[in-house]
Amino acid sequence: MRTVTLPSLLRNSLPAIILMLVSVLGGMTLFPNSARADLRVCNQTQNIISIALGYRADAGWQSEGWWVANPEACAIVYQGPLNARYYYLYAVDDIGGGAWDGSVFMCTQDSSFTIFGVEDCLARGYERTGFFELDTEDKTDWTLQLTEANAITQEPQ
pLDDT digits over 54-79, tens only? 999 988 999 999 999 999 999 999 99
Residue 122 domain-assigned (yes or no): yes
CATH number of domain containing 75: 2.60.40
pLDDT digits over 141-152, tens only? 999 999 877 544
The SS3 of residue 6 is helix
pLDDT at 155 over 60: no
Asked whether the beta carbons of 41 and 131 are under 8 A apart, the reply is no
- Helix (H) / strand (E) element for 61: namely strand 60-69
Q: Which domain holds residue 57?
A: 38-156
Report the number of distinct structural domains present in the chain.
1
Mean of the per-residue pLDDT values for the chain? 80
- Convert 111-142 to b/e letters by CB count within 10 Å (16 or more is b): eeeebeebeebeeeebeebebbebebeeeebb
Residue 148 domain-assigned (yes or no): yes
